[in-house]
Amino acid sequence: MAFVSSGYNPDKPMEDRITDIGNHHYGEFLPPVIKNNFGKWQWHEILEPGVLMHKAEGGDEVYTVRVGGMRLMSVEFAREICEIADKHCDGYVRFTTRNNIEFMVDSKDKVEPLKQDLMSRKMEGGSYKFPIGGTGAGLTNIIHTQGWIHCHTPATDASGTVKVVMDELFEEFQNMRLPAQLRISMACCLNMCGAVHCSDIAILGYHRKPPMIDDEFLDNLCEIPLAIAACPTAAIKPKKKEITSERTGEKKEVKSVEINVEKCMYCGNCYTMCPSLPLANAEGDGIVLMAGGKVSNRISAPKFSKVVVAFIPNEPPRWPTLAKTIRQIVEAYEKNARKYERLGEWAERIGWEKFFEVTGLEFSHHLIDDFRDPAYYTWRQTSNFKFTEGMNDYAAIKAE
Amino acid sequence: MATVEFKGKTFEIDEDGFLQSFDDWSPEWVDYVKESEGIKELTDEHRKVIDFLQDYYKKNGIAPMVRILSKVTGFKLKKIYELFPSGPGKGACKMAGLPKPTGCV
């Protein structure tokens, strides 16, 4: 399409420029029933998976239908959301902090038509557009990142892996049969954008090879001291090098860096700071699984998630090993944990040696913390431990 | 990689319009960039910022932190934005010929 001006004048960029107005006030978009009862809610209940009811002091009710969202969506899809909101909810709709979509109606008789409309909508390939669920003690949406769609530092894909895992565990999204809510998150490199460090199960993109060094351009493209300071293990040091230019063929001395491969643990922080240190690698890159994190303060304090699987290869487009391993963890948790017990609380109660036994995951030396002084506190300073026996045996102990 | 020619000089630039090599910088570069950075006329204040950025980069190998830039030049951040509407990174560093800012920007 030919250029169409919005009215912006590139010759006078600062003229009529509006800045610092922030976002709209949320009050502008509240459904009337929410606006009228703001701060007056008395109680709520989950009527069925994906459907909530809140009761206000005056007796007003609001029914919320939560549906899964894919987060990465087209304008066409957003318009379809608006169309549904127009049809059933007077044009009001909201998104949750896990990127689900919530449609709200003010009376019970409006819920059924809305539900039927939502479940009748499918993609051409057969996927539900608006699957209802994500409430209570079940699996809700997966918080995830950019992956190969848009980022330049990923070690795996985000949208792809998330679709695979949600397909695998779709029933848990539509049901509330787990001991407590299960939060799965995904980050495509260990920048950990999002919630992987504090989720029940976390999928994390991971490299296994040190960066390549583009000596010819490094000093031109990078601020060398920043690349050095970016390294958590001090594997990088400045170094002058004799190189033969690939472009001109001339020999010259350039400023560059040297990486001590023995010290490098492939975090990729230096590539973030310096474009001449790329490290993505098709065979080397893959996924680390972590488990046992939470953010709420309910019963136990918030926890970090811990590494439980050191490496799963990237297997696009369906990542079968990833799906299988996550299913393994979820099944063991569902079968063994007590009511209200989050995955991390369960693992800590039974002991991590039991966690590995019950889930059938392999324990390798990669899982033993070796990062600076605090690593010491993650080792076992006690003779309290269990000999491990078997999954079914353990389930029997729990049943007693 | 694109090259641009301006007043008889050739500059190699990336897709964001940053110089590929600090050594290629010349006063003509500033004239070439200022248009796209929303700067009509180059004042002494602009030059003071550019000169300081270049001195600091030559001496330390990095661009200064914003607070250092403010403290040394005496220009508050607001003033720097008045001089360089795209800000100290995209505006001033680009004109000074420094490498493109990196990290989660």
Which chain B residues are Cβ-neighbours of A154 within 8 angstroms? none
User: In this predicted structure, what is the pLDDT of residue B105?
Assistant: 82
User: In this predicted structure, what is the pLDDT of residue A387?
Assistant: 87
Closest Cα in chain A, distance from residue B74 (Å):
24
Tell me which amino acid residue A196 is.
V
User: In this predicted structure, what is the pLDDT of residue A327?
Assistant: 97
- Indicate yes or no: CB of A222 within 8 angstroms of CB of B21: no
Considering only A300-309, B34-43, B77-86, which range has the smallest mean pLDDT? B34-43
pTM of the model: 0.92
Which chain A residues are Cβ-neighbours of B21 within 8 angstroms? 220
- Indicate yes or no: CB of B99 within 8 angstroms of CB of A225: no
- Indicate yes or no: CB of A273 within 8 angstroms of CB of B60: no
User: In this predicted structure, what is the pLDDT of residue A395?
Assistant: 58
Chain A interface residues (partner B, CB cutoff 8 A): 13-14, 191, 217, 220-226, 272-275
Instruction: Considering only the beta carbons, identify the residue of A14, A272, A273 that sits closest to B85.
Output: A14
ipTM, two decimals: 0.93
Query: Which contiguous run of DSSP H or E holds residue B57?
Result: helix B44-60
Please state, in angstroms and rounded to a whole number, the distance separating the CA atoms of residues A227 and A229: 6
Which chain B residues are Cβ-neighbours of A217 within 8 angstroms? 20
B77 near A CB under 8 A: no
Q: Give the count of Cβ contacts less than 8 A between chain A and B.
A: 36
Question: Going by C-beta distance under 8 Å and a sequence separation of 6 or more, which residues neighbour residue B66?
Answer: B77, B80, B88
User: In this predicted structure, what is the pLDDT of residue A389?
Assistant: 67
Burial A134-154 (b: 16+ CB within 10 A, else e): bbbbbbbbbbbbbbbeebebb
pLDDT along chain A (400 residues), means of 10: 92 93 97 97 97 97 97 97 98 97 97 97 97 97 97 97 98 97 97 97 97 96 97 97 89 96 97 97 97 97 98 97 97 96 97 94 94 97 86 56
CB contact residues (below 8 A), chain B span 32-61, against chain A: 38, 57, 60-61
Instruction: Considering only the beta carbons, identify the residue of B21, B60, B103 that sits closest to A273.
Output: B103
Please state, in angstroms and rounded to a whole number, the distance separating the CA atoms of residues A103 and A31: 10
Please report the sign of the dihedral spanned by the C-alpha atoms of residue A313, residue A277, residue A194, residue A198: positive
Closest Cα in chain B, distance from residue A186 (Å):
18
Which chain A residues are Cβ-neighbours of B64 within 8 angstroms? none
Burial A240-278 (b: 16+ CB within 10 A, else e): ebeeeeeeeeeeeebebbebeeeebbbbbbbbbbbbbbb
Closest Cα in chain A, distance from residue B50 (Å):
17
Cα distances from A89 to residues A12, A51, A111, in angstroms, run: 44, 15, 10
Nearest CA in chain B to A230: B103
**Is B93 a known active-site residue?**
no
Nearest CA in chain A to B100: A221
User: In this predicted structure, what is the pLDDT of residue A247?
Assistant: 81
Please report the sign of the dihedral spanned by the C-alpha atoms of residue B31, residue B34, residue B40, residue B42: negative
Instruction: Considering only the beta carbons, identify the residue of A13, A14, A221 that sits closest to B99.
Output: A221
- Indicate yes or no: CB of A223 within 8 angstroms of CB of B104: no
- Indicate yes or no: CB of B21 within 8 angstroms of CB of A225: no
